[in-house]
């Protein structure tokens, strides 16, 4: 990728990370669980841009850690490890590129994020005797629904405007999409 595209990926990840921490966290309950950094990083994986996904997740995680109030959740490590796990799952288990695979990836990502928070809360309580708030079951399902909805919409927008995920059909000796 060119320097211009890397700059664009980093700038968008900073803006999305700031929106996740500074804007969405202040909204009422159904809107508060919209956490867009992981789903957008998963979209980069579907588009065969794993390095862009890692840079996006790392920068977004850094912004989330930097601006989130309270105890640090180590979002940089969390997001990077989740993206590495998703890239492995995408290459070894889910080999096609479809909206169903996107939905599966973001649900796996959100589940790994919840597991990360539970383990961090347990370790924090065990080592430092501090209370670490984890995600509730209701917030988890709302966040999964937001993730699936947002990546489905973005997937169809990308498929419509770039014709990237369409399969060719041969009619009258020529390829049509």
pLDDT above 80: residue 172: no
- Spatial CB neighbours of 109, under 8 Å, sequence gap ≥ 6: 38, 39, 42, 82, 86, 147
Of 139, 152, 122, 109, the closest CA to residue 31 belongs to: 139
Q: What's the average model confidence in pLDDT over 83-107?
A: 89
Which tens digit of pLDDT belongs to each residue from 20-79?
Answer: 998 888 888 788 888 899 999 999 998 889 999 999 999 999 999 999 887 677 889 999
Strand spans (E) along the chain: 169-171, 174-176
């Amino acid at each position: 990728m060119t320097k211009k595209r890397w700059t664009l990926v980093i700038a968008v990840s900073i803006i999305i990370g700031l929106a996740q921490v500074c804007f969405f966290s202040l909204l009422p309950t159904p809107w508060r669980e919209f956490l867009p950094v992981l789903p957008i990083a998963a979209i980069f994986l579907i588009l065969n841009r794993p390095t862009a996904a890692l840079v996006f997740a790392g920068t977004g995680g850094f912004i989330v850690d930097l601006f989130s109030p309270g105890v640090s959740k180590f979002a940089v490590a969390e997001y990077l490890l989740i993206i590495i796990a998703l890239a492995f799952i995408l290459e070894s288990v889910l080999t096609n590129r479809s909206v169903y695979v996107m939905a599966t990836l973001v649900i796996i990502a959100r589940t790994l994020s919840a597991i990360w928070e539970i383990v961090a809360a347990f370790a924090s309580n065990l080592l430092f005797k501090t209370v670490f708030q984890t995600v509730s079951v209701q917030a988890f399902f709302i966040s999964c629904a937001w993730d699936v909805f947002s990546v489905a919409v973005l997937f169809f927008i990308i498929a419509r405007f770039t014709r990237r995920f369409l399969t060719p059909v041969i009619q009258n000796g020529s390829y049509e999409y």
